[in-house]
């Protein structure tokens, strides 16, 4: 079966920078930890970069940590991991993992929401990192509002599919007898995805909501043509990126830009 749309990059220079949507098919972009992590390292957050691309960050309370371990020999090119411990250096209570091929902007938005939760905990008597009250519908709503379809199975899973069929978010709402991820998101084929994210049981639902809000944001992503995945290029919408132009100044053919937002409480 022929592709539904031609390759929009066919006549562009491989080094040219363009703005593309949808976000989940844009490719990883620039995955520099200090760009992806919004943490205030001048305010007692710890940053450790031992070399060979690896990086670690730890909160002042030592209960929250995140790391990047590159591995060019794997399909996902390495792993970003967020973890939370109820006590410093204790057992990890919950964990989020992202392939290194995950678009950098999605990673940044989830880490920004993580920092927001951490700061909120410092100034309240709640512990949102472990007692988040965000309802699952706050994860679903952005997807449904942007035309994603959904299906439900009797095995306790609810699955959402992007309009072009190359993005998926799955919620395992029935957790009895299973230790798999509560939330999972990926782009492309589930057997060999372009990237995937996995949220263990106990992860604040707020962080899953931050991911879906970022996924469906209409703010296009800047990418060099040569860095955009080949297999799904015919699903992308592209406009040339003018030098020094704000990211939200997209071509008229694109929908109005919207900001990825987290939860409201």
Task: Count the Cβ atoms, other than its own, within 10 Å of residue 93.
Answer: 17
Instruction: Please provide residue 24's backbone torsions phi and psi, each rounded to the nearest 5 degrees.
Output: -70, -10
pLDDT bucket at 133, cuts 50 / 70 / 90 = confident
Task: Answer yes or no: is pLDDT of 258 > 90.
Answer: no
Locate 109 and state its tokens. Answer: 């938005």
Mean pLDDT across 210-229: 96
The answer to whether 68 and 54 are in contact (CB under 8 A) is yes
Residue 263 has pLDDT above 70, yes or no: no
Of 258, 205, 249, 232, nearest in space to 26 by CA: 232
Instruction: Identify the pLDDT of residue 254.
Output: 36
H or E stretch at 206: helix 205-215
In DSSP terms, 172 is beta-bridged to 157
List the 221-224 sheet strands across, edge first.
221-224, 17-21, 237-240
pLDDT number for residue 132: 87
Least confident among 19-23, 137-141, 161-165, 254-258: 254-258
Q: What is the reported pLDDT for 241? A: 54
First-to-last alpha carbon distance for the chain, in angstroms, is 47
d(CA 17, CA 22): 16
pLDDT the model gives residue 57: 97
Mean of the pLDDT values across residues 245-264?
Answer: 40
The dihedral built from the CA positions of residue 215, 134, 82 and 32, taken in this order, carries a sign that is positive
Residue 103 has pLDDT above 90, yes or no: yes
Comparing 176 with 160, the larger pLDDT belongs to: 160
Q: What is the pLDDT of residue 255?
A: 38
pLDDT digits (tens, 9 = 90+) for 161-218: 999 999 999 999 886 655 779 999 999 998 999 999 999 999 999 999 999 999 999 9
Q: What rounded mean pLDDT belongs to the chain? A: 87
> What pLDDT is stored for residue 142 in this prediction?
96
pLDDT in tens, 29-79: 998 998 999 999 998 999 999 988 999 999 999 999 999 999 988 888 999
SS3 216: coil
pLDDT of residue 240: 63
Question: Between these two residues, 246 and 4, which has the higher pLDDT value?
Answer: 4
**Does position 262 have pLDDT exceeding 60, yes or no?**
no
Residue 108 vs residue 253, higher pLDDT: 108
């Amino acid at each position: 079966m022929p592709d539904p749309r031609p390759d929009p990059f066919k006549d562009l220079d491989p080094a040219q920078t363009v703005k593309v949507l949808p976000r989940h098919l844009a490719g990883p972009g620039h995955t520099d930890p200090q760009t992806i992590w919004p943490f205030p390292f001048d305010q007692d957050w710890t940053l450790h970069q031992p070399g060979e691309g690896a990086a670690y960050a730890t909160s002042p309370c030592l209960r929250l940590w995140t790391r990047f371990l590159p591995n060019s020999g794997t399909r996902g090119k390495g792993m970003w991991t967020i973890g939370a411990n109820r006590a410093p250096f204790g057992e990890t209570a919950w964990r989020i993992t992202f392939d290194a091929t995950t678009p950098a902007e999605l990673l940044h938005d989830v880490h920004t929401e993580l920092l927001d939760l951490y700061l909120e905990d410092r100034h309240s008597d709640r512990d949102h990192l472990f007692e988040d009250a965000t309802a699952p519908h706050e994860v679903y709503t952005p997807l449904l509002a942007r035309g994603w379809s959904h299906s439900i199975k009797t095995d306790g899973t609810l699955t959402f599919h992007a309009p072009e069929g190359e993005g998926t978010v799955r919620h395992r709402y029935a957790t009895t007898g299973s230790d798999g991820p509560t939330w999972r998101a990926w782009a492309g084929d589930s057997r060999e995805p372009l990237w995937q994210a996995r949220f263990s049981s106990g992860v604040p639902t707020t962080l899953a909501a931050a991911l879906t809000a970022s996924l469906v944001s209409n703010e296009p992503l800047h990418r060099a043509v040569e860095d955009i995945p080949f297999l799904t290029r015919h699903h992308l919408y592209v406009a040339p990126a003018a030098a020094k132009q704000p990211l939200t100044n997209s071509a008229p053919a694109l929908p109005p830009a919207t900001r990825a937002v987290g939860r409201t409480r």
